[in-house]
Structure 1
Amino acid sequence: MDSETALKLVRHGVTLLFLDVPPYTLLGVDTQVFNPGPIFKGIKMIPPGPHIVYYRSSSREGNGFSPIIGFFIDAGPSEVIVRKWDYQEERLVKISEEEEERYTLAVKNLEFDRQLGPYNLANYGEWKRLSNFITKSSIKRLEPIGGEISVVCENDVVRNTPKTSMEEALDKQLNIDNSATSFRKYQTKGCYYTTIPRLGKCKGVSVQELTSLNLDKTQLLETLLAKDYGGSENLLLGELQFSFVAFLMVQSLQAFFQWKSLVSLLFGCTEAPLHTRTQLFTKFIKVIYYQLKYGLEKDSVVETGLALFDDSRLSVDIFVHHLFKDFLSLVQDGSVVDGDLLSWTRKFMKLLESKSRVEV
């Protein structure tokens, strides 16, 4: 990249200025991870728009890590976001408005340019495919008070929820410490996800009609879209992406449960995909295709240092396979099926067969 182009990207892009980050801290933006050295002061050339920032502090020897803390941002062109490391709390904190103005001016005068690591634009397309429905409004709607997401700060309800063997394995893998109260002083208890009922309920209907409602979750989907998403399909897909990213990057179990609930809801519909919500399901299959493609590719996960899909891979495959099998039959056996929906469904089937350990 020539210097003129690089300078334009620096001036137009978002800058994260992180002051006093200790060595061995793992710090990530989207699908990219940075290992701060002695002169590290942040990241530059970040494309404007939604991103996730996540980090975990380390022991002085670099052989022990605390739970991950993450937060979403939606920054405009040339915006500078400043955080400073608080050694007592072991996290990044905001600074005073006066200090922020001073540091922002210094960044725009390129005083920190040599101490800022460049965002790898070659990987930006990968992030866009994981986040194209996440917007500023969806972040504001879902993020906890204060914005910070961490597994140790989530509701006790999440911790006490009956778990499958996969979820118990995740608990163990993430080293959940219920006595970790240091975060609870400064954090809220979780994101404001939409409540997804496991079973549809409706007063005044027969047992047969109620059974039908629960076999086909189309009516439940329509109710949720109208009541909780203001009729916006994209807002629902944004929550699906938000929860997946928070699960994979921040290791949030609350996010995993929400992602699982939304996937179960959508794959549980039989009327909507072929008739009333074909465009939604075409978009949904594309979203989950890129999620599973990223999550099941070991190289991508190792790159982030968060190999959640590695040890639990078989269970993830079985969960998705179990739901997708009936959906695949529904689409393939339909008398009239949208071409894009059929194409992406077959593409998703090939992905599962090539990347996972189960046959569709």
Structure 2
Amino acid sequence: RRGGAVLCLGVPAGTIFGIDCASYGVGPKFMGLKMIPPGIHILHFAPTNVKKKASAPKTSLFVTIKEAEVLVYRWDKSLEGLVEVTEEERRQYTTGYRRLDFDAKLAPYPLRLQRVWESLTPHLSPKVRAKLEPIQKFRVVPRQPLPAPKELSEKLNQTEEQKREKSFISTSMASKGPPDARMESKGDEKVVMQLEHKKAKKMETEEGENTLMEKEKKEKKTMNVENTPAVPPPLVVRRRFYSRLPDSLEAIKAAKKRCKALQTEMDSLRNTLNALEVQKILGTCKKSSGKVLDISAKKAGSSDELGKEIKAKKERLTKMDAKMRSILASVTTCHMDKSEGLYALMNKEYPGQSHGVLGELEFAFCSFVFGESFEGLEQWKKLTRLLCSCDKAVDEKPDLFAAFTQVLHSQLHAIPRDFFQDCISKENFLHDCLKDYLEILKNSQISGQHRRDHDKLQSLLKTKFGLVFVFEEDSEDGPVIVELTEKQLAELKLS
């Protein structure tokens, strides 16, 4: 009674259709799914040509189903996908569903896989789904023509073989042509008659071959026109608006620009400071490089005032130098620690939603695994790489990364066992990300349940994938940490 339903009208028999972690080949009586638990689910389907045994790429659609709600979609033959029906049609089909008119044609939701789906999407909220996949936003993706059927390929191969055989016959007969003209000049009538007979026979053979080849060309042309598969119609998919992650290159360019401006100001200040020191030594006000120094005669006559001016400029130069070092350090940190980029993403895209980033991570992963979306794969890679490179944020936001560790554990459960051994996926981005993340957790201050989840993640990597990461221990050649005094810290403060 609490479960919802999705009516899919007019889906062709043989279409690959699935919901969440399950996928089936539907029959002619299929009209949808029932007994669906409330929440967010993904529908994924692929049009299939049963005769040619070929299927198109999958298309996925996220839906939010409320308690006892009925969603109605119709299969569009020209677009080869599900589209929404009108509100009037939805009310009519909902009434029919309440009367159990379609109950025998609805497949039950696979409850045995419900827990697996919930473990993959614990943070995918309706707000996150509405942000990433707004309603009625579509994009047309052109398709490539389907490969030629097996029978057509065999006929084409036979035609090529026959053509080669005819060419060989023609060449062999041409090699048996008339002898030199010297034999004809001897006047041997018998030889001349034989040659004329051979010429006539050769002409008949060549005419027959030409007729046969023209006939084969016509048959081949007709066969290509009739049997060559047409280009399938364009694929219509829902457009998804993934978050744009902060670009580290842009941050580096901005930092370089700030450093350049700061360096120019520091050079000018050093020149002024050098001139003031010379002036203090000489005790007179002089011109420097054709410019009069910005010091009054009264200040020039007082060595105390001049000393204060020099001291103030030295302090300012020290602060500017500390600021320069801070900017350069931020550039280095931008490569090693992505915490600031994570904070910027959360404040811009998910203000007030502490786990919104994890919801988008789960959305992208499910789009890739179940919907075969390349965009989902790229966004999943970017977010995983970002979250696995946040050294400072692990201690500052322990709840977020405790949840991320659990999500990562669930996603690795859904990945095939040979993912890190396959010739295509081995040495992929996930190997380095996991190594960096486990090293960060090892050196962090996590405890309790988060530490136990960390141990479970390591155990899964070892038992399922055979991955054991070895981290370098601290050695004598490592960096030396120096504690600064309060005076030194005060000097390093930014202006």
TM-score where L is the length of structure 2: 0.58
Deviating more after overlay: 203-212 vs 228-237 = 203-212
> Quick one: structure 1 residues 209 and 98, their matched pair in 2 at CA, closer, same or farther if it must change by over 3 Å?
closer
Counterpart-to-counterpart distance in 1, 2:339 and 2:27: 52
Counterpart-to-counterpart distance in 2, 1:333 and 1:61: 59
Match of residue 262, structure 1, among 372, 383, 387: 383
Q: Does 1:228 align with 2:277?
A: no
Q: 1:333: how far off?
A: 3.2
Q: Which amino acid aligns with 2:30?
A: F
Counterpart-to-counterpart distance in 1, 2:78 and 2:122: 37
Q: 1:254: how far off?
A: 0.8
Match of residue 52, structure 1, among 42, 45, 52: 42
SS of 1:28's partner is strand
Counterpart-to-counterpart distance in 1, 2:330 and 2:34: 57
Q: 1:195: how far off?
A: 0.9
Q: Does 1:329 align with 2:442?
A: no
Counterpart-to-counterpart distance in 2, 1:196 and 1:354: 33
Q: 1:144: how far off?
A: 5.4
Match of residue 21, structure 1, among 11, 19, 26: 11
Counterpart-to-counterpart distance in 2, 1:227 and 1:289: 27
Counterpart-to-counterpart distance in 1, 2:356 and 2:426: 25
Q: 1:62: how far off?
A: 6.1
SS of 2:425's partner is helix
> Quick one: structure 1 residues 45 and 24, their matched pair in 2 at CA, closer, same or farther if it must change by over 3 Å?
same
Counterpart-to-counterpart distance in 1, 2:52 and 2:12: 10
Contact kept? 1:243, 1:255, Cα under 8 Å = yes
Query: How many matched pairs?
Result: 311
Find the counterpart in structure 2 of residue 193 from structure 1. 242
Contact kept? 2:7, 2:33, Cα under 8 Å = yes
> Quick one: structure 1 residues 109 and 271, their matched pair in 2 at CA, closer, same or farther if it must change by over 3 Å?
same
Contact kept? 2:385, 2:433, Cα under 8 Å = yes
Q: 1:319: how far off?
A: 2.2
Find the counterpart in structure 1 of residue 464 from structure 2. 355
Q: Does 1:146 align with 2:136?
A: yes
> Quick one: structure 1 residues 83 and 218, their matched pair in 2 at CA, closer, same or farther if it must change by over 3 Å?
same
Q: Which runs of 5+ in 2 are unaligned?
A: 144-230, 259-325, 470-495
Q: Does 1:277 align with 2:326?
A: no
Counterpart-to-counterpart distance in 2, 1:187 and 1:349: 38
Contact kept? 1:247, 1:255, Cα under 8 Å = yes
Q: Which runs of 5+ in 1 are unaligned?
A: 1-10, 155-179, 299-308
Match of residue 102, structure 1, among 92, 116, 121: 92
> Quick one: structure 1 residues 98 and 255, their matched pair in 2 at CA, closer, same or farther if it must change by over 3 Å?
same
Contact kept? 1:317, 1:358, Cα under 8 Å = no
Counterpart-to-counterpart distance in 1, 2:55 and 2:33: 22
SS of 2:385's partner is helix
Find the counterpart in structure 1 of residue 415 from structure 2. 295
Contact kept? 1:71, 1:149, Cα under 8 Å = no
Within a 5 Å distance, the mapping from 1:79-94 to structure 2 comes to 79-94=69-84
Deviating more after overlay: 347-356 vs 40-49 = 347-356
Counterpart-to-counterpart distance in 2, 1:209 and 1:350: 35
Contact kept? 1:74, 1:135, Cα under 8 Å = no
Q: 1:90: how far off?
A: 1.6
Contact kept? 1:18, 1:82, Cα under 8 Å = yes
TM-score where L is the length of structure 1: 0.79
